[in-house]
């Protein structure tokens, strides 16, 4: 088992990463001072795969456990569902010391985090992420939220978990498409934070895709460490944390222009390539590194083909999403693999050019 300490003063916590950790949850909880009652929020798929067994093992260890299932799907991240969960927690006589465990992907993590942050003005939150995206991204850093109308992830809080338990063996049941979506974020960490990690992914991608546990543990550990270090420096997202959005400026626009038919991971892969090409055109990232980025994205079975969307629609979505000042949009650009920076100097016309000429670009 590996451990990462996220240092945030009194809100510091540990991330545990390893194989088979789920069944050791009772020990981790006790070591962190928890006993008695606890609630698990999960969805029916994850409950069947892991929730029932987790409940049994915790009950055997003397915890009094209730499982609160929420249907699968992004639309469950809502105030309405949060409201229902508050009632269910109250029926269970939850107190301010009763921890809530988020067992599932990012949807469960964000929703449970929001409920934990707000119920009784905050109860202990334990993240037990079961998707690659959740293990490397959403369970770390304390952004919790629900959606509300057009406001995606905009009703929320910064609320750090007390503990994150990432059992990499749970990734073995993940649909391939979900796994690959998580790989997009893993590749992102290589680009933003560590060129040696990027090279490690190039060397080992095939074994990673075959779900070799040693490698899974390594990529989750290294990605989580990069995210944790960024969060430590900018917990409240006032500057540096923005670099975690590498690939997301164009990526989010593609997602929304496609009415969310293009999945997040694929959209982000396209966004990372777009940002790479823009960087190259601005005299930053060199061609060899741009080609390496494209080929790693392809090998991860993430697309580099821009879907048939009107470029104008993508640009419109970007305008809607971002503050545009004098025709310039905020971007995360790459100087080289492993080194990015935030700039307000990218012109919309350059972004448009890269999108229009997509098939002719490197």
Give the residues lining the site for ligand NAD (CB under 6 A).
43, 45-46, 49, 72, 74, 77, 104-108, 110, 130-131, 133-134, 137-138, 141, 143, 153, 170, 173-174, 178, 181
Of 3 and 172, CB closest to ligand NAD: 172
Closest contact distance (angstroms) between CB of 255 and ligand NAD is 11
Q: How far apart are CA 115 and CA 217, in angstroms?
A: 29
Q: Quick count: other Cβ atoms within 10 Å of Cβ 254? A: 27
Q: How far apart are CA 89 and CA 95, in angstroms?
A: 9
Q: How far apart are CA 12 and CA 287, in angstroms?
A: 41
Closest contact distance (angstroms) between CB of 83 and ligand NAD is 18
Residue at token pair 């992420």: 129
Closest contact distance (angstroms) between CB of 50 and ligand NAD is 7
Q: How far apart are CA 175 and CA 306, in angstroms?
A: 23
Q: How far apart are CA 110 and CA 145, in angstroms?
A: 5
Using an 8 Å Cβ cutoff, are 248 and 331 in contact? no
Closest contact distance (angstroms) between CB of 148 and ligand NAD is 13
Of 153 and 347, CB closest to ligand NAD: 153
Q: Quick count: other Cβ atoms within 10 Å of Cβ 158? A: 17
Q: How far apart are the first and last CA of the chain?
A: 41
Closest contact distance (angstroms) between CB of 170 and ligand NAD is 4
Using an 8 Å Cβ cutoff, are 198 and 191 in contact? yes
Q: Which residue's CB atom is positioned nearest to ligand NAD?
A: 106
Of 69 and 285, CB closest to ligand NAD: 69
Closest contact distance (angstroms) between CB of 82 and ligand NAD is 14
Token reading at 289:
């590194």
Q: How far apart are CA 195 and CA 260, in angstroms?
A: 31
Q: How far apart are CA 346 and CA 121, in angstroms?
A: 42
Closest contact distance (angstroms) between CB of 113 and ligand NAD is 7
């Amino acid at each position: 088992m590996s451990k990462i300490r996220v240092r945030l003063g009194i809100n510091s916590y540990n991330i545990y990463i390893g194989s088979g950790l789920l069944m050791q949850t009772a020990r981790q909880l006790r070591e962190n001072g928890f006993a008695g009652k606890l609630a698990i929020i999960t969805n029916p798929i994850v409950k069947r795969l892991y929730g029932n067994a987790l409940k049994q093992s915790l009950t055997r260890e003397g915890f009094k456990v209730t499982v609160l299932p929420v249907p699968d799907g992004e639309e469950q991240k809502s105030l309405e569902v949060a409201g229902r969960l508050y009632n269910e927690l109250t029926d269970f006589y939850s107190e301010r010391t009763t921890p809530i465990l988020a067992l599932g992907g990012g949807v469960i993590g964000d929703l449970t985090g929001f409920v934990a942050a707000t119920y009784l003005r905050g109860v202990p939150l334990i993240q037990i992420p079961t998707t690659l995206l959740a293990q490397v991204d959403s369970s770390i850093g304390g952004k919790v939220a629900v959606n509300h109308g057009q406001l995606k992830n905009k009703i929320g809080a910064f609320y750090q978990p007390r503990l994150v338990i990432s059992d990499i063996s749970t990734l073995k049941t993940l649909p391939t498409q979900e796994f690959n979506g998580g790989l997009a974020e893993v590749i992102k960490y290589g680009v933003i934070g560590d060129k040696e990690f990027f090279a490690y992914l190039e060397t080992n991608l095939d074994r990673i895709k075959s779900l070799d546990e040693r490698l899974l543990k390594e990529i989750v550990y290294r990605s989580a460490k990069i995210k944790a270090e960024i969060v430590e420096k900018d917990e409240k997202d006032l500057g540096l944390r923005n670099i975690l959005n590498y690939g997301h400026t164009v990526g989010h626009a593609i997602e929304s222009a496609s009415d969310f038919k293009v999945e997040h991971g694929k959209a982000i892969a396209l966004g990372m390539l777009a940002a790479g090409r823009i960087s190259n055109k601005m005299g930053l990232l060199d061609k060899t590194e741009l080609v390496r980025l494209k080929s790693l994205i392809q090998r991860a079975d993430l697309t580099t083909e821009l879907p048939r969307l009107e470029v104008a629609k993508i640009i419109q979505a970007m305008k809607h999403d971002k503050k545009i000042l004098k025709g310039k949009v905020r971007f995360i650009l790459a100087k080289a693999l492993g080194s990015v920076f935030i700039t307000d100097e990218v012109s919309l016309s350059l972004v448009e050019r890269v999108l229009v000429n997509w098939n002719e670009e490197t």
